[in-house]
Structure 1
Amino acid sequence: MRKRKVNEFTEYLNHLNDSDVKAVKAFMVNFKQHMNLTLSEEKKLRKDLEGALMYYNAIGVAVTEALRRLDNENLGGFYARPPLLYYALDDAAKIYPLSMKHGFQAVFRLSANLFDEVVPQLLQIALTFTIKRFPRFATTLKKGFFWHYLDANKQRYGIEKEEHLPCRPIKVATTGSKSFRVLYYKNRVSVEFFHCLTDGRGGLVFLQTLLDTYLRLFGVEGQTHPSILDINATPLPEEDANEFKRTTVTKRSGFKEKRALQMSGKIENIRPTQILHFRLDATDLYKVAKRYGVTITAYILGLILLASRFATDAKDGDIAIQVPVDLRKYYPSSTLANFSLYGGIRMPITDITTMEELLPLVKDQLAIVTSYEKMSEMMYSAHRMNKDVRGFPLFLKNPIAKLAYGIMGEAIFTTTFSNLGIISAPDHFNDYIESYDFVLGPPEVNRAATTLVTYNNIATLTITKSTKDPSFEEEIYRLLVKDGLAINIEGSAVYERKSRVSREKD
C-alpha cells in the first residue's frame, strides 16, 4: 500500500521541540485573526509564511527569531478589512489607459542588483508586508463613466520569477488585475509599473521600501531614511495627491509640435529586441561633462542627438528628445502618484555636428524647456485639458484624448531620455546592493529609449531597443570611448544574433 506523502511543513513541525511547535501554532492562529480574504488567497499567504519558516530553519535561524522577523503585526489590518477605497487618476496618468493598444502599454522597470542571489521565500513576505503601506498600488484599474480609476483590491500580491520579456504589457483588464509586478532573477529584484499608477520617483520609493523590508527579514536593521517608508505607519493622504492643480500660473503652454525624424531601423514585432546597460564610473562621467561645461544630463543628450543622426537615413528635419522632469524639485511633494512632465530638446539634423558645437545649444535649450516657468505652464495646461474634457463619457474621450494630448504622441519625438539621478539610500544598502537599473518599456514608434540612474558611483546608461539595427548604441559607445570613459556592457539580447556592441563584452 502506498504511503500518504507527508506535508513539508508537517515534517518541519515534527522536527521541532514542543515549545517551538506551540509557538508556531500560536503564530498561525494569530495570522488567521489578521485575515478576511477569500479562503484561496488566505491559503496562499499561509503557504508563504510556512515557506519562510522552513527557509529560516534550513539556514539555522532559531524559531523564536524567525517568528519575530515574521511578526503578524506587519500585516496590520490590511488583509482583515474589506476593500472600500478608490483613487482618482492624476492629471498625467489619465492618458495612459486611453492610449493602450494591443501589444503596447506605457510600462517602466526599476531594478536593484544585489550582491547575493534573491531568496524568493523572503522576497514574497517582504511584498506581503510592504504592499499595505502603498494602498494606492493595491488596486485594480477600472472604467468609470467619465474616467478610469483605481479600485482597492485586497488579495495576495505574488512575486514572479522572471521568465518573459522585460516591460511586457500588464493585463489590467482582467478581474483582480494589478498595475505592477514584482520579479526576481538570480541576484536582481525588479518592479515593473504601468505608468498610470506612478512615475519613476514614486516607483523608486516602493522599490526602496520593499528592499528595506526584504533586508530586515534577514535580520539587517538599518536607520530610517527619507527614501523609505515605515511599512507599519499609516498611509498619508498627501501620498495620493493630484499635485498638478498646485501651480498658480494661469498661462497655457503650447503643446503642439511638428513630427520629428525617426531612426531608420525596422521596428520588430517582438519588443524589446535588446536592452543594453552601459556601466560607467559616475565620477569620470561627471568630469567629462564638466570638461564640456555642461551637466551630465546635457552631455548624454548630446550623445543621443549625435547617435540619432547616425542612425537615420534622413537628411532634413528635426531630431527631438523627450526629457521627463520630476516636478517635485519645483513643488516639494510626498505624492506617490505621477508628478512629472517633460521638456523637449529639438535640433535640425543639419545642426548636429560635433559635441563641441552641439553641447552649448543643448545646455541653453535644456535650461529653458525644463525651467520652473515652463513646467508650471505645462502643469496648468495638463490640469486644464483634463477639466475641458471631463464632461465627456469615457467612450468619447479616446479620440478626444488623442487630439488633445498630442503632447504624449511618440511621433513628435525621436527618442526619450530619462535621468532618475543619484539614488539616495541608507548606508547599509551599500553592503547588499551593487547597482540599480532603470528601463523604459519598448516604444511604439521610436526605435530606442534611454535612461540613466546612478548609485554607489555606478552610472548605468540603459538603452531599450525596438529594432535590430545597432547603429544608435554603437555610436553612443564610440563617443563615450572617444571621451575616455571605460564602459562595462551588460546586455539582455532577445535574439540569438547580437549586435556588435553586445559582443564587445565577450
Structure 2
Amino acid sequence: MSQKSADWTRLDNAAKIFPPTSNKQDTKVFRFACQLSEWVDRDILQQATERSLDVFPIFRSVLKHGLFWYYLEKTELVPVVEPEYRPPCGQIYDPSSRNLLFEVSCYRNRINLEVYHSLTDGTGALQFLKTLVCNYLAIKYPPLKEDLLSEIEYDASVSERDEDSFSKYYDPHHSAKRTKSRKSCQLKGLRVPEGRLKIIEGIMPVKEVLQLAKSYNTTLTVMLTSMMLIAFAEEIPLRQKKKPVILSVPVNLRNYFQSETARNFFGVIQVGYNFSQGPGTLEDVIACVKEEFKRELTAEQLGARMAALSKAEHNYVARAVPLVIKDLILWTADTISESYTAGSISNIGKIDLPEAAKPFVKRFDVFVSTDKLQACVCSYGGELTVSFTSAFRSTNVQKHFFRQLTQAGIPVEIQSNKLEDDLQ
C-alpha cells in the first residue's frame, strides 16, 4: 500500500497522541456550537452537512491502524444529523467500530459540531462549521445563496486542505534554545462522574474586555491567561505553593507558517507564574506572561518545537517499532507531561461570517474534553465567550476568574450545565 494512495493517509504528528490517550473522562473531543436566531430544521441541516463534506473531504474518514501506525481511510459513510442526545464532548472514537470522527447534532436553535482531535484542530473544525452554517442558510433561504457561499469560499485546493503541514515544514536541522520544563501545582478535589464535564460559560462585551487589556498595555489573550493563573493560585494548597502554576496554551501554527490545511496544525506552549516568588498582582503576572509569550511565540522557536516532536517519526528505527509499543510510549509520555501543567486556556479568536449570515446567527461557543480544567475563548459580534470545562465538582477557579472581570467593571452573564448530582 503506497502512502500516496488516494484512499488513506497517515495521521499527522499532532494527531498521533490522541488514540492511545483517549478515555471516557477525556475523550479528546471538542465541540463548536452555533446558536441561530431561529430553531434548526434538522432535514435542512442534514443536507448542509453532506454538502460541506464536498469542501472538506478529509472529514469523510475513519481511523484505522496497522502494525506500525494509525491512518485515516476514506469512507462512503454518510453522517446522520441527530437531535442532541448526550452531554457535550462524548466519546466518538471507538477502536472496535468503523465510524466517522465527527458528529453534527442540533437542539432547538443550536447547531453542534463535535470532532475527535485526531481528525483536525480548532481552526479546521471552525472552518467546517462556518461552511456548514452558510450551507444551511443557503438551502433555507435560496435568494441569499450567492452572498453566503461566495464569501465563505475556502480559498484552498483539496490537496492543500488535506495537507500534512507538519511534514511539509519539518526541518531536522532546526533548533532553538529550549526552555527548561517545570512541574506545576495541581488542582485536587472531588471529580464529576466519568463521561461528564462541568461547564460554566461567561458571556461579556468584547469591546470592554479589549479596553481593559489595553489599560494593562497587553493583549486579550495575555490578560485572560494571567487572570486564569491567579484564579488557580487561589485554590492551590499552601503546601504546593513552592511550585509555579503553569498553563498550556495551544498555538495555531498557520499564523507562523503558510498553510491552509484542514487537518491538525497547532503547537502548545507552557506559561506560568510562581506565586511564592512574586507579589502575584495582576500587573506582575501579566508582565511575566507577556515575556513568556514574546519568547515562545516566534517562528524560530515554534519551528524548533515542531522539529523536536516530529523527529521520531522521521527516524527509520523508530518507525519500525510496532504500534502497540508506540502507544505505550506515547501514553507514558502523556501521563508524565500531565505533571507539568495545571490546566489549559485556548483562544480561538474572532469568528466572522458573511454579512448575509449575521442576522441569523446569535453566538458561537466552544468546549473541550479534559481530565483537568480548560478554558476556551472566542468572540462573535460584540460578545466574548469564555467557556470552562472541568473534571472537578468545585467551581471555585471559575468563580475567581470571572470575579476579577466583574471587579474590573466588566458585566458577565454566567451560564452553566446541570449534572445529575447538582439536582439532588
- TM > 0.5 between the two? yes
Which residue is 1:424 aligned to? Answer: 352
Distance 1:352 1:209 in 2: 47
- Structure 2 residues not aligned, in runs of 5+: none
* Matched letter for residue 330 of structure 1: Y
Aligned equivalent of 2:361, options 417, 433, 438: 433
Aligned counterparts, 1:288-307, within 5 A = 288-307=212-231
Q: Deviation at 1:359?
A: 1.0
Q: Residue 170 of structure 2 contacts residue 310 of structure 2 at CA under 8 Å; is this kept in 1?
A: no
Q: What is the DSSP-based 3-state SS (H/G/I as helix, E as strand, rest coil) of the residue aligned with 2:356?
A: helix
Q: Residue 55 of structure 2 contacts residue 158 of structure 2 at CA under 8 Å; is this kept in 1?
A: no
Q: Deviation at 1:406?
A: 6.9
* Matched letter for residue 340 of structure 2: I
Moved more, 97-106 or 195-204: 97-106
Distance 1:256 1:154 in 2: 47
Q: Deviation at 1:241?
A: 1.2
Q: Deviation at 1:387?
A: 2.1
Q: What is the DSSP-based 3-state SS (H/G/I as helix, E as strand, rest coil) of the residue aligned with 1:473?
A: helix
* Matched letter for residue 243 of structure 1: S
**Offset from partner CA, 1:434-463 (integer Å, 9 cap, x none):** 11001111x22x2x1001001112110111
Q: Does 1:213 align with 2:135?
A: yes
Q: Does 1:485 align with 2:410?
A: yes
Aligned equivalent of 1:366, options 293, 299, 308: 293
Which residue is 1:414 aligned to? Answer: 342
Moved more, 289-298 or 256-265: 256-265
Structure 1 residues 352, 468: closer, same or farther in 2, change over 3 A?
farther
Structure 1 residues 401, 270: closer, same or farther in 2, change over 3 A?
closer
Distance 1:109 1:286 in 2: 25
Q: Which structure would you say has the larger Rg? A: 1
Which residue is 1:395 aligned to? Answer: 324
* Matched letter for residue 321 of structure 2: F
**Offset from partner CA, 1:96-155 (integer Å, 9 cap, x none):** 112223543211111111111111111011112222332211111001221110111102
Aligned equivalent of 1:470, options 389, 395, 407: 395
* Matched letter for residue 156 of structure 1: V
Distance 1:141 1:422 in 2: 31
Aligned counterparts, 1:134-149, within 5 A = 134-149=56-71
* Matched letter for residue 299 of structure 1: M
Which residue is 1:335 aligned to? Answer: 261
Q: Residue 253 of structure 1 contacts residue 381 of structure 1 at CA under 8 Å; is this kept in 2?
A: no
Distance 2:313 2:170 in 1: 15
Aligned equivalent of 1:309, options 233, 238, 252: 233
Q: Does 1:318 align with 2:240?
A: no
Distance 1:323 1:157 in 2: 32
Distance 1:386 1:196 in 2: 16
Which residue is 1:164 aligned to? Answer: 86
Bigger RCO of structures 1 and 2 (CA < 8 A, at least 6 apart): 2
Which residue is 1:59 aligned to? Answer: none
Structure 1 residues 254, 395: closer, same or farther in 2, change over 3 A?
farther
Q: Does 1:119 align with 2:41?
A: yes
Moved over 6 A (4+): none
Structure 1 residues 461, 401: closer, same or farther in 2, change over 3 A?
same
Query: Normalization by structure 2: what TM-score?
Result: 0.91
Query: Normalization by structure 1: what TM-score?
Result: 0.77
CA-based RMSD: 2.2
Distance 1:217 1:321 in 2: 42
Structure 1 residues 148, 119: closer, same or farther in 2, change over 3 A?
same
Q: Deviation at 1:324?
A: 0.4
Aligned equivalent of 1:456, options 349, 357, 381: 381
Structure 1 residues 262, 153: closer, same or farther in 2, change over 3 A?
same
Q: What is the DSSP-based 3-state SS (H/G/I as helix, E as strand, rest coil) of the residue aligned with 1:93?
A: helix
Equivalenced residues, count: 409
Moved more, 465-474 or 245-254: 245-254
Which residue is 1:284 aligned to? Answer: 208
Which residue is 1:380 aligned to? Answer: 307
Which residue is 1:189 aligned to? Answer: 111
**Offset from partner CA, 1:273-324 (integer Å, 9 cap, x none):** 4211111111101000000111000110111011001122133211101000
**Offset from partner CA, 1:390-430 (integer Å, 9 cap, x none):** 221101111222455678x3321111000011112211121
Q: Residue 60 of structure 2 contacts residue 100 of structure 2 at CA under 8 Å; is this kept in 1?
A: yes
Moved more, 264-273 or 463-472: 264-273
* Matched letter for residue 214 of structure 2: K
Q: Does 1:242 align with 2:160?
A: no
Tell me the percent identity: 25
Q: Residue 140 of structure 1 contacts residue 172 of structure 1 at CA under 8 Å; is this kept in 2?
A: no
Q: Residue 244 of structure 1 contacts residue 382 of structure 1 at CA under 8 Å; is this kept in 2?
A: no
* Matched letter for residue 94 of structure 1: K
* Matched letter for residue 378 of structure 1: R
Q: Residue 138 of structure 2 contacts residue 148 of structure 2 at CA under 8 Å; is this kept in 1?
A: no
Q: Residue 93 of structure 1 contacts residue 338 of structure 1 at CA under 8 Å; is this kept in 2?
A: yes
Structure 1 residues 240, 489: closer, same or farther in 2, change over 3 A?
same
Which residue is 1:357 aligned to? Answer: 284
Structure 1 residues 372, 189: closer, same or farther in 2, change over 3 A?
same
Q: What is the DSSP-based 3-state SS (H/G/I as helix, E as strand, rest coil) of the residue aligned with 1:156?
A: coil
Q: Residue 12 of structure 2 contacts residue 264 of structure 2 at CA under 8 Å; is this kept in 1?
A: yes
Moved more, 448-457 or 342-351: 342-351
- Structure 1 residues not aligned, in runs of 5+: 1-82, 499-506
Aligned equivalent of 2:124, options 202, 213, 230: 202
Which residue is 2:51 aligned to? Answer: 129
Which residue is 2:192 aligned to? Answer: 268
Distance 1:173 1:264 in 2: 31
Aligned equivalent of 1:107, options 29, 34, 55: 29
* Matched letter for residue 376 of structure 1: G
Structure 1 residues 305, 129: closer, same or farther in 2, change over 3 A?
same
Structure 1 residues 149, 247: closer, same or farther in 2, change over 3 A?
closer
* Matched letter for residue 319 of structure 1: V
Q: Residue 206 of structure 2 contacts residue 383 of structure 2 at CA under 8 Å; is this kept in 1?
A: yes
Distance 1:380 1:352 in 2: 37
Distance 1:318 1:140 in 2: 41
